[in-house]
Amino acid sequence: VQVMETSKKKLGADHLDTLASMNNLAYTQRSLGREVEAISLMRECVQLRQQRFRPNHPNLLSSSAALAQWDAEHAVMNLDIVQLHAN
């Protein structure tokens, strides 16, 4: 978190290094089971990459794909919880 925040302050939120740190931190958050934080951070990363890169840029595409997958998995998990409580 400190690396990303320092990078944001010194280089700017849309700097390549800041975006890489943000992307990596989102993956780390997810691996630690912090799904909501990971999705939120990846969403911010995708939004900033959309402003910085052309639509077919590999970094934007990989972040967008990860976000879509994480959103879908999170939705399924929430649906499973709702169904569990409904039964």
- Indicate the DSSP class of residue 14: T
Distance CA 75, CA 85 (A): 16
CATH number at residue 35: 1.25.40.10
Task: Please tell me the number of Cα atoms within 13 Å of 48 on its side-chain side.
Answer: 19
Q: Express each pLDDT in 14-50 by its tens digit.
A: 999 999 999 999 999 999 999 999 999 999 999 999 9
Mean per-residue pLDDT of the chain? 94
CB contact at 8 A, 4 and 22: yes
Which residues constitute the domain of residue 25? 2-86
Overall domain count for the chain: 1
pTM of model > 0.85: yes
For residues 64-71, average pLDDT:
98
Read off the pLDDT band of 82 (50, 70, 90). Answer: confident
